[in-house]
Homo-oligomer: A and B are copies of this chain.
Amino acid sequence: MLVVKKFGGTSVANKERIYNVANRCIEDYKKGNDVVVVLSAMGKYTDELIDKAKDINPNPPKREMDMLYTIGEQMSVALMAMAMNHLGVPAVSLNAFQVSMHTTSVYGNARLKRIDSERIRNELEQRKIVIVTGFQGVDKFDNYTTLGRGGSDTTAVALAAALNADSCEIFTDVDGVFTADPRKVPAAKKLDVISYDEMLELATLGAGVLHNRSVELAKKYGVHLVVRSSLNTAEGTIVKEVGSMEKMLVSGVAADKDTTRISLIGLKDEPGVAFRLFNHLARHNINVDMILQSVGRDSTKDITFTTTEDNAQEAVEIVERHFHEYEKIDVEKDVVKVSIVGAGMQSNPGVAAKMFECLYDEGINIKMISTSEIRVSVLIGEKYAEKAMNAIHEKFSLGDN
């Protein structure tokens, strides 16, 4: 068996944890498996590097920022190799140059293009544990790049695909993927299996433990992905292609508080209005999430959309500066997007209605609705978030075995 194991920054934050990870990997190695380990930078080290950079230059060139970032993972992998060698197991650390982790040239947010797995295979053949820097790559001009948020997960999945690994284990501080956030919904239950598509929807909702790029990659290459705890040996959640017979009606409920509703009231009811509005926003890189258009009074129409709290202020400014076709703008920050996700709802038309009924029973007003094939999202007042999640969780019996 060839397994790729990815550990995040908190798992390698100090000596004790480094040895914990080392022992865990060695256990697998001693069963005769080939083990490839992907690591992030230690604890808060990336933040320290950012502070160092900002102190020198508040607006550092992205190329140099990536040059600095890559230090973090290199430190992790070198120290991990030292720990494993101290435990008597041959281990070798490799950075993005040594693995040949080819990416596009977009500093800070590069995409993996190709991995030369020869060096890794070579080291594995010599029965070494191979420890690879996550998050980093090299572009075709030999510059360092980094992969952006969740980059180390992406590195792990890409390596698993390139090496045709039997399994790619992503270690986190939770036991796996849950039907809801256990801190908010006490009845939440760990899922044994979830489909790539469901995981993707959860990841996009900010509720998942994986970044969506890594899930997309896993889906594309059919990587057998496992999300499990670095603190215990529980089985975790397997992310894979799920046959239709196994599909759960609803597999989880999630809430995303980082959302702001912006409504433009009294727009002319004529073609091209929506295009002009969202074109302005897109040109300024404002990501819009939910969109709702409704008929207003006196042959006008209203357009409402949501965006992250970070982007909201800028979105309002852009609308005020460039888009003069509305009568009134209305912004609401205290909102939350609650979503249910489940591959089974594709063929079950009653799911959305059941969710709305549940919210009605709790006296919670729905401000917006958006749906995909396997997801239903509603925008409600922020203060109702936990009440809604618990009620929905119970309504769909997600806590039952």
Contact = CB atoms under 8 A, between A and B. Distances in A.
Nearest to A71: B71
A38 to B, nearest CB: 16
Interface of A, helix, strand, loop or mixed by DSSP = helix
A26 to B, nearest CB: 14
Contacts of A56: 15, 18, 79, 82-83, 86
Interface in A138-160: 142-143
A75 interface: yes
Contact of A97 (B52, B53, B92, B142): B142
Copies in the complex: 2
A79 B52 contact: yes
A33 interface: no
A64, A95, A119, most chain B CB atoms within 10 A:
A64
Interface in A103-152: 119, 142-143
A85 B64 CA distance: 10
Contacts of A59: 86
A60 B82 contact: yes
A78 interface: yes
Contacts of A77: 67
Interface in A45-72: 52-53, 55-61, 63-65, 67-68, 70-71
A339 interface: no
A81 interface: yes
Contact of A61 (B18, B85, B119): B85
Contacts of A230: none
Given A67-B77, A71-B74, A82 B98 contact: no
Contacts of A85: 57, 60-61, 64
Contact of A57 (B55, B67, B82): B82
A260 interface: no
A58 B82 CA distance: 9
A93 interface: yes
7 contacts: A52-B79, A56-B79, A56-B82, A56-B86, A67-B74, A67-B93, A71-B78
Interface of A: 15, 18, 52-53, 55-61, 63-65, 67-68, 70-71, 74-75, 77-79, 81-83, 85-86, 92-93, 95, 97-98, 119, 142-143
Given A68-B79, A97-B97, 17 more contacts: A18-B56, A53-B79, A53-B82, A56-B79, A57-B85, A60-B85, A61-B82, A63-B92, A64-B78, A64-B81, A64-B85, A64-B93, A67-B74, A67-B81, A71-B71, A71-B78, A119-B142
